[in-house]
Chain A
Amino acid sequence: MYSARDWREYPRRYRLEAGKCKKCGKILFPARLICPKCGAREFETEMLPDTGKVLTFTVIRTAPSQFTDIAPYAIAIAELTNGVKLTAQLVDCDVNTVKVGMEVRIEFRRVQTDAYSGILSYGYKFVPKWY
């Protein structure tokens, strides 16, 4: 992987930047060039809230090579307080305690290391809100 592929994602992965459609108000994560709801093309940058709740989850037990050292790990889709839904790992808790409806918070963590380039990729993970 060339580093550009990693740093191009910094606004989303490091700063949780979403795009808010100036016409209809829909919030898109990641930001896009055209709004899928109204077709408008002007957006303003808005930071995602850092809390939400789990809509669904799973525990990955057979993991891709870059994640085998942390398996089993939970993956969840959470809906944030502004309605945006996103997928991330849910960490810092026993995977057997994860439940639908569980309240989570977003934290900045190392996500994976590219085997060929050695690039460390950081991004967001969910943690239990009480943590």
Chain B
Amino acid sequence: MRDVAVVGVGMTKFGEIWDKSLRDLYVEAALGAIENSGVDHIDSMIVGCMSGGLFVGQEHLGSMLADYLGIKNLPASRVESACASGGLAFRHALIEVASGMSDIVMASGVEKMNDISGDGATYALATAADQEYEVFHGATFPGLYALMAVAHIEKYGTTRDMLAAVAVKNHDNGALNPNAQYPFKITMDTVKSSVMIADPLRILDCSPITDGAAAVILTTVDIAKKLGKPYVKITGSGHATDTIALHSRDDMTTIASATVAADKAFKMAGKTIKDVDFAEVHDCFTIAEIMVMESLGLYAPGKAGEAVLKGETALDGKFPINTSGGLKSKGHPVGATGVAQIVEIYKQLTGQAENGRQLKSNPKVGLAQNMGGSGGSSLVHILEVA
């Protein structure tokens, strides 16, 4: 396999972007990444999108988006793994470049979630769960994570404050991200008094409904060197599934797909979690960030919540998590999220994070964890300074 680098990134502002369509959002991010990288063409592109069909009635996204990007006859594919579609697009772009099939591939993700009602969005997102054995009974996505939260609270004594601390910390970081949907700070009291969605999860425990797109350019390390732009190396990639229904798992207090995907990525990179300096993780709900921290081996089961409360994962903590603001503050356009995580890792590793959120610790190794559904799929990538 060839050594592969990320050599340029682009993303749109995340939020309720009423004046831009799915195709406009996508092209804006894609052109941003192409210009940022300095490449004069791409050989192929892979689009992560969870549900263009349900959100805007548009499938066949590879063709449409290549067309609107002004490129004819490009090998353009769309991949889907629910909220991990972006991470999956990144992995497939990596495989394509590493294998030698293509030299320059764009990994990208997009979701336009605000063109339908909240009820329609709830329905579309719920298709990531088991339609006949979870959703049929009235389970929603916040509901599934609430089931995990109650199990985690019951087993480990996780507290309301620990959950709230995740949201507060991510908003602290997102306040420094010009692309964040909600770039402002919130308080513990605001989280704890916000409206209840599915006990114990309140609205400020939940990531929002977001429009947005992100894109990154992958190429070989050799070509990256010649381009003369900042680049980072992709040294590990892991991907794993789990049962589609939460109730089918032996342990509902851990994300096994994240553990397995991380193990694979670490093995490929020849590293352990101790070698990693910071991470972007899939905080679709506050409990998810806590569970993923434990599933990655960063903290023992039941110990992550306390670490968040102590500030260990804050921007100036010993292991910063979600310096971008995470899904909570930056926003969660589901297909774009996994690629936007890579954008943040790239910026942090190349010293380009805006507005004072650049880590002062001179980080060398970053990890991105993106998951689909209630953990039915996970992708983990490890990136390192060149």
Contact = CB atoms under 8 A, between A and B. Distances in A.
Contact of B147 (A61, A73, A75, A112): A75
A61 B199 contact: yes
Given A55-B151, A56-B151, A63-B140, A87 B134 contact: yes
Nearest to A96: B199
Interface in B136-178: 136-140, 142-143, 146-151, 154
B136 to A, nearest CB: 7
B198 A77 contact: no
B47 interface: no
Interface in B113-151: 119, 122-123, 126, 132-140, 142-143, 146-151
A47 B303 CA distance: 40
Interface string B184-196: 0000000000011
A85 B248 contact: yes
Q: Chain A: interface residue count, which band? A: 20 to 34
Interface in A45-61: 55-61
A75 B138 contact: yes
B198 A88 contact: no
Nearest to A86: B247
B194 to A, nearest CB: 12
A30 B198 CA distance: 26
A123 B147 CA distance: 21
B252 interface: yes
A66 B195 CA distance: 21
B247 A77 contact: yes
Given A58-B198, A65-B119, A87 B139 contact: yes
Contacts of A31: none
A73 B134 CA distance: 14
A58 B133 contact: no
A123 B247 CA distance: 17
A52 B136 CA distance: 20
B136 A121 contact: yes
What is the interface of chain B mostly: helix, strand, loop, or mixed?
Answer: helix
A14 interface: no
Interface string A55-84: 111111111111100100101010000000
A57 B198 contact: no
Nearest to A126: B137
B246 interface: yes
Instruction: Name, among B134, B147, B148, the residue most crowded by chain A CB atoms within 10 Å (CB to CB).
Output: B147
Choose among A55, A58, A73, A100 the residue with the greatest number of B CB atoms under 10 Å from its CB. A58
Contact of B146 (A58, A66, A85, A86): A58
A18 B154 CA distance: 29
B137 A111 contact: yes
B386 interface: no
Contact of B126 (A9, A62, A64, A125): A64
B98 interface: no
Contacts of A125: 137
Interface in A7-61: 9, 30, 55-61
B276 interface: no
B307 interface: no
A64 B138 contact: yes
B39 interface: no
10 cross-chain pairs, A with B, having the tightest CB-CB distances, nearest first: A58-B146, A56-B151, A85-B247, A59-B199, A67-B138, A77-B247, A56-B150, A58-B198, A56-B147, A62-B197
21 contacts: A55-B151, A56-B154, A57-B150, A58-B143, A58-B147, A58-B198, A58-B201, A59-B199, A60-B140, A60-B143, A75-B137, A75-B143, A77-B247, A87-B134, A87-B147, A88-B137, A89-B137, A100-B150, A100-B154, A111-B136, A125-B137
Interface of A: 9, 30, 55-67, 70, 73, 75, 77, 85-89, 100, 111-112, 121, 123, 125
Given A62-B197, A85-B248, 7 more contacts: A58-B150, A58-B201, A60-B139, A61-B196, A61-B197, A62-B142, A111-B136
